[in-house]
Structure 1
Amino acid sequence: MRLRALLDTDALGLRLLGGDDELDRTVRGVMTTDLRDPSRYLSGGELVLTGLAWRRDATDSEPFVRILASAGVAGLAAGEAELGAVPADLVEACGHHRLPLFAVNETVAFATITEHVVRQVSGERAGDLAAVVDRHRRLMTSGPAGGGPEVVLDLLTSDLDLRAWVLSPTGRLIAGAGEPLPGPVGPALAGLHLAATRTGRRGPHRVPVDGTTYSLFPIRNTGRGAVPASRDVRETVLSDWFLAVEADASDWPAARLDLLQGVTQLIAVERDRRDAARTVRRRVAQEVLELVQAGAAPTEIAARLRVAAPVLLPGLGSAPHWQVVVARVEWAADGAPGAAGGPVAQALLEEILVDPAVTGPDSADRIAVAHTGDEAIALVPLPAVPAPGAEAAQGAADTAGAARAGAASGREPDPVLHADVLLAAVREPLSAGLADDGRLTLGVSAAVHSAEGLRGALEEARHARRVAAARPGRVCAAGHHELASHVLLLPFVPDDVRRAFTARLLDPLRDYDTRHRAELIPTLEAFLDCDGSWTRCAARLHLHVNTLRYRVGRIEQLTGRDLSRLEDKLDFFLALRMS
């Protein structure tokens, strides 16, 4: 607002005492002070209100006004309640420094002037930002992106003093301005947002987290060209982004709420563009999946993988190893048509597979997810995996959260996906979104190094998902290591899974025997046949007991199993019988 506008409001009781040629100055704020030197609290553009308590005699006016002028304030308003008329020495000093001076009638409270200025300045800032938002919306809907969500979030911070972040449905940071959210706050906000959305309440949702109040705005594109809104909130609740603002929006005026809704629509346009960019990766996954399920020749699948690798692993040219992840979202029947599970699972799997160490909308560029029926299937390229023996040993630590966490200990992070680790950070918010009628189950295959292994990996991941489905809880996962358990080796288990079971346990031993002629397989058979007796087994094999202990130790090292445990003995027994 301009200084001139203050004289147009009779309720403020202001009289201009000097500086009529400076009334076009812009007022950016207001400050009340009676300090002799308030410079540390001034940033420029303020209307300074003073009761003149700092003035002891006429010589005090000149240094006080000089400090205000040096700080770049817009004007000075002096109250008449303390000294009556504004002193002439103050009028003279303001004239000398070309600082507009107003007299405030003793019947007018400084709070009245402050409230008026703040309201006018905030309204103008909101109007300016709304114009910027509208301009960016036109740019983003008609051409290339104009900087992404960060641009408008920076404007919210600089023009309205609002800290805001765009978060995914799991609480992952998409974009933000200023300081990032503390680690656990994002998932906590996501859970509260999903829970509120499932109740059907309209946003914004006011929520407290760790003593701070946030307002959560759903991000949906409702403008021209937007995808029609879903009739069932379950179809979008687990894939929509949301805007978290560090403020209580419950008492905001309608104009500011409308502005924030405009911001969310602007970000939604960017979200839609990112979704469109995933089309190529989804098509890649769909084509490979169709070839695998149709029983295509490995050479044909391998050729398609060579085409897919540069898309999913730019710069590497090929992916030496692959993993398959299968997810399914199921909703309880309630008499109404159920939400489509396949697309929901596809969007969820794309979110879950994002590396948590990477932020931003582009962090899912290496994820290819297809869906068929109610099932989503991800084809995950791995630039490298541990050696066979190391991977088997890693199986014992699968539930310990070692995957993708090596960097914390100075080691290279393990690129292999592990089921429990994938869901560790997202289980709580997703459970809130699934509420009491939804369920997510997920299965992860072992890494395979060729096209020949993809069909088996797909069946392995599907079977692992069925294992997860047998467990209690809204969000459950199972990995390929859990398939090496005798409870699954029943007649109805597919042949592919039987082969995967025996290969998982015995292939490391066969490979070692081939290279070193160590006779680990015969040693294992004899050890089990002797019921784990060291002396009887050593006598049967004509070995010293220490030599037998060395061989058994090598078997345990290569497979990650413990032959002192009954469960592991039984698994080896079944694997040997089926091999």
Structure 2
Amino acid sequence: MRLRALLDTDALGLRLLGGDDELDRTVRGVMTTDLRDPSRYLSGGELVLTGLAWRRDATDSEPFVRILAGAGVAGLAAGEAELGDIPVDLIEACRHHRLPLFAVNETVAFATITEHVVRQVSGERAGDLAAVVDRHRRLMTSGPTGGGPEVVLDLLTSDLDLRAWVLSPTGRRIAGAGESLPGPVGASLAGHHLAATRTGRRGPHRTTVDGTTYSLFPIRNTGRGAVPPSRDVRESVLADWLLAVEADAADWPAARLDLLQGVTQLIAVERDRRDAARTVRRRLAQEVLELVQAGAAPTEIAARLRVAAPVLLPGLGTAPHWQVVVARVEWAEDGTAGTGTGAAGTGTAGTGTAQDIAGGPVAQALLEEILVDPAVTGPDTADRIAVAHMGEEAIALVPLPAMPAHGADAATADASGAGPAALKQQDPALHADILLAAVREPLAAGLADDGRLTLGVSAAVHSAEGLRGALEEARHARRVAAARPGRVCAAGHHELASHVLLLPFVPDDVRRAFTARLLDPLRDYDSRHRAELIPTLEAFLDCDGSWTRCAARLHLHVNTLRYRVGRIEQLTGRDLSRLEDKLDFFLALRMS
């Protein structure tokens, strides 16, 4: 803003005492001081406010003004509250150094002037920055990238003192200026954003995490990877990125809000660019999976895999192993999707009727996000993700580096003393429980009370012959996950024992009656006597009925364990020495 504009605002109570011909100077900030030498705090362009406490006599004015003029300040405003009229020596010194001088009426607080100037200067900077954002967006849409969204986020920090991050729907940092957000904070912000968007409220959404206020701006995905348009917000909310700004946007002027909307549009262009880079990988996965489903010869599938491997896992040098991951998003009309399903895979969610709303594209976008390593902010791991959608399922073909033989691994681990934990760390395979651990909280907020995400993971296979079995295995695992309660569930191949495969197809009322008949007497007894019969039963079955091992695990005397097992048998009328009764208890615990 210009100095002249200060005189046009009556509420500031300023009178010009000198420097009429210097009123076109640009004001870049405000500083309040009563130091005799404030030069160390001046950078040029400030309007300096002073109460004149530094002035002891007339000789002090000239050196004070000389210091201000040397620092390149825009002007000086002196308050009348302390001395009344502004001293003549100060007016003369300002005239000598050509420094505009204003008198501040005693009824006007310096804070009022400071707030006005800061608001005007911030608006001017926002306007300038908006032009930069617009030019940057045109560069990104018309040619090679101009540096990505990080450039503009850096400008937000340097020009407007706003720290901002681009986050995925799970809270993973995609871009940002300065320090990264801690993982739990990013996940919490994403959860708040998804929950607020589900209500239909317009952004920005405001929330506080760990005492810090953030404003959350949605970044709409309108490019190649966008979910097809619809009136239902559930289609897009789980796939949209967000811009998290460390500030409260409630009182922002329209110009600043428009600037941040421009930033989100620029980032949407970058997302379109990244989605375009995934097109080849998606197509390769689609082709391979279509051959697998059609029952093509293994040699034909192997030939297509040889084409896909260098693209999905460049520089590997050896044929990889493969895993298949299947995901599905379902919605319920009556808001009960989070309660589990009675017949997994049959299209029911909870007790209501499920509606697959653009399920394939939504699940595809989510699965691509889930498979990205949350610790990696760049595109490296995303470059190796190939997700197709077939019907309402999203199916990922995940390449893994060829794993050494188990014997070699064991020998190495034994020699080094590393043991089984080291072997697990060497295993590059995906594990269902680990995949969802970091994303369950934010995604559950987006799914709310009427959506479910279920996911199944196959074992690793090393040849084209094994892909068909891996696909079916992943689908079966997803059905097992769908039979569980909760909005975000996953299951892996290791959970596909024969009894587990049967459980999802048992009707809900039968399962409830079966578990209630066996376990309710024990639960009631535990609630009254704190006897811990249910934990004892679980441990006893897990130890294959071994009295000594179970007693050691529970830190009990064997006689105490025998008493508890006897009480279980008495309450239920079952005999835990019989295989049939052990199996019934085992199944009841798994279904409860």
Measured against the shorter chain, the TM-score band is 0.7 to 0.9
Instruction: Please say if residues 224 and 276 of structure 2, whose CA atoms lie closer than 8 Å, have aligned partners that are also in contact.
Output: no
Evaluate the alpha carbon distance shift between residue 221 and residue 341 of structure 1 in structure 2; reply closer, same or farther with a 3 A threshold: closer
Evaluate the alpha carbon distance shift between residue 427 and residue 386 of structure 1 in structure 2; reply closer, same or farther with a 3 A threshold: farther
- CA offsets, 1:283-331, max 9 Å, x none? 0110000111112222211111111112111222554211111111111
Evaluate the alpha carbon distance shift between residue 454 and residue 522 of structure 1 in structure 2; reply closer, same or farther with a 3 A threshold: farther
Q: CA deviation at 1:399?
A: 26
Q: For residues 462 and 565 of structure 2, what CA distance do their matches in structure 1 show?
A: 28
Evaluate the alpha carbon distance shift between residue 486 and residue 379 of structure 1 in structure 2; reply closer, same or farther with a 3 A threshold: same
Evaluate the alpha carbon distance shift between residue 509 and residue 165 of structure 1 in structure 2; reply closer, same or farther with a 3 A threshold: same
Q: For residues 49 and 535 of structure 2, what CA distance do their matches in structure 1 show?
A: 94
Residue number in structure 1 paired with 2:536: 523
2:551 aligns to what SS in structure 1? Answer: helix
Unaligned runs of 5+ in 1: none
Q: For residues 120 and 410 of structure 1, what CA distance do their matches in structure 2 show?
A: 62
Q: CA deviation at 1:418?
A: 0.5
Evaluate the alpha carbon distance shift between residue 577 and residue 339 of structure 1 in structure 2; reply closer, same or farther with a 3 A threshold: closer
Q: CA deviation at 1:240?
A: 0.5
Residue number in structure 2 paired with 1:548: 561
Q: For residues 73 and 399 of structure 1, what CA distance do their matches in structure 2 show?
A: 72
Instruction: Please say if residues 206 and 249 of structure 1, whose CA atoms lie closer than 8 Å, have aligned partners that are also in contact.
Output: yes
Identity %: 92
Instruction: Please say if residues 221 and 240 of structure 2, whose CA atoms lie closer than 8 Å, have aligned partners that are also in contact.
Output: no
- CA offsets, 1:380-408, max 9 Å, x none? 11124354369999xx999999xxx9999
TM-score (norm 1): 0.77
Q: CA deviation at 1:90?
A: 2.7
- CA offsets, 1:503-553, max 9 Å, x none? 999999999999999999999999999999999999999999999999999
| Cα RMSD (Å) | 10.6
Instruction: Please say if residues 23 and 100 of structure 1, whose CA atoms lie closer than 8 Å, have aligned partners that are also in contact.
Output: yes
Instruction: Please say if residues 360 and 393 of structure 2, whose CA atoms lie closer than 8 Å, have aligned partners that are also in contact.
Output: yes
Evaluate the alpha carbon distance shift between residue 441 and residue 513 of structure 1 in structure 2; reply closer, same or farther with a 3 A threshold: closer
Instruction: Please say if residues 398 and 418 of structure 1, whose CA atoms lie closer than 8 Å, have aligned partners that are also in contact.
Output: no
Select the residue among 393, 397, 408 that pairs with 1:375.
Answer: 393
Evaluate the alpha carbon distance shift between residue 572 and residue 289 of structure 1 in structure 2; reply closer, same or farther with a 3 A threshold: farther
Instruction: Please say if residues 457 and 493 of structure 2, whose CA atoms lie closer than 8 Å, have aligned partners that are also in contact.
Output: yes
Evaluate the alpha carbon distance shift between residue 369 and residue 123 of structure 1 in structure 2; reply closer, same or farther with a 3 A threshold: same
Q: CA deviation at 1:361?
A: 5.2
Instruction: Please say if residues 459 and 497 of structure 1, whose CA atoms lie closer than 8 Å, have aligned partners that are also in contact.
Output: no
Q: For residues 106 and 43 of structure 1, what CA distance do their matches in structure 2 show?
A: 28
Evaluate the alpha carbon distance shift between residue 4 and residue 520 of structure 1 in structure 2; reply closer, same or farther with a 3 A threshold: closer
Evaluate the alpha carbon distance shift between residue 90 and residue 510 of structure 1 in structure 2; reply closer, same or farther with a 3 A threshold: closer
Residue number in structure 2 paired with 1:92: 92
Q: CA deviation at 1:10?
A: 5.2
Q: CA deviation at 1:89?
A: 3.3
Residue number in structure 1 paired with 2:455: 442
Q: What is the correspondence of 1:387-406 to structure 2 with a 5 Å cutoff? A: 387-388=405-406
TM-score (norm 2): 0.76
Instruction: Please say if residues 370 and 376 of structure 1, whose CA atoms lie closer than 8 Å, have aligned partners that are also in contact.
Output: yes
Instruction: Please say if residues 359 and 393 of structure 2, whose CA atoms lie closer than 8 Å, have aligned partners that are also in contact.
Output: yes
1:489 aligns to what SS in structure 2? Answer: helix
Instruction: Please say if residues 460 and 497 of structure 1, whose CA atoms lie closer than 8 Å, have aligned partners that are also in contact.
Output: no
Q: CA deviation at 1:66?
A: 4.1
Evaluate the alpha carbon distance shift between residue 519 and residue 179 of structure 1 in structure 2; reply closer, same or farther with a 3 A threshold: closer
Q: Which stretch has the larger CA shift, 103-112 or 534-543?
A: 534-543
Q: Which stretch has the larger CA shift, 405-414 or 507-516?
A: 507-516
Q: CA deviation at 1:434?
A: 0.9
Instruction: Please say if residues 509 and 520 of structure 1, whose CA atoms lie closer than 8 Å, have aligned partners that are also in contact.
Output: yes
Instruction: Please say if residues 224 and 275 of structure 2, whose CA atoms lie closer than 8 Å, have aligned partners that are also in contact.
Output: no
Q: What is the correspondence of 1:507-518 to structure 2 with a 5 Å cutoff? A: none
Q: For residues 559 and 304 of structure 1, what CA distance do their matches in structure 2 show?
A: 57
Evaluate the alpha carbon distance shift between residue 569 and residue 304 of structure 1 in structure 2; reply closer, same or farther with a 3 A threshold: farther
Unaligned runs of 5+ in 2: 335-353
Evaluate the alpha carbon distance shift between residue 309 and residue 89 of structure 1 in structure 2; reply closer, same or farther with a 3 A threshold: same
Q: For residues 92 and 536 of structure 1, what CA distance do their matches in structure 2 show?
A: 96
Q: CA deviation at 1:157?
A: 1.6
Q: Which stretch has the larger CA shift, 431-440 or 78-87?
A: 78-87
2:504 aligns to what SS in structure 1? Answer: coil
Q: CA deviation at 1:502?
A: 29
Evaluate the alpha carbon distance shift between residue 507 and residue 5 of structure 1 in structure 2; reply closer, same or farther with a 3 A threshold: closer
2:223 aligns to what SS in structure 1? Answer: coil
1:52 aligns to what SS in structure 2? Answer: coil
Q: CA deviation at 1:453?
A: 1.3
Evaluate the alpha carbon distance shift between residue 114 and residue 331 of structure 1 in structure 2; reply closer, same or farther with a 3 A threshold: same
Instruction: Please say if residues 459 and 496 of structure 1, whose CA atoms lie closer than 8 Å, have aligned partners that are also in contact.
Output: no
Q: CA deviation at 1:225?
A: 14
- CA offsets, 1:254-273, max 9 Å, x none? 23222222221221122122
Q: Which stretch has the larger CA shift, 532-541 or 4-13?
A: 532-541
Q: For residues 268 and 27 of structure 2, what CA distance do their matches in structure 1 show?
A: 34
Instruction: Please say if residues 326 and 393 of structure 2, whose CA atoms lie closer than 8 Å, have aligned partners that are also in contact.
Output: yes
1:26 aligns to what SS in structure 2? Answer: coil
1:224 aligns to what SS in structure 2? Answer: coil
Evaluate the alpha carbon distance shift between residue 124 and residue 542 of structure 1 in structure 2; reply closer, same or farther with a 3 A threshold: closer
Aligned length: 573
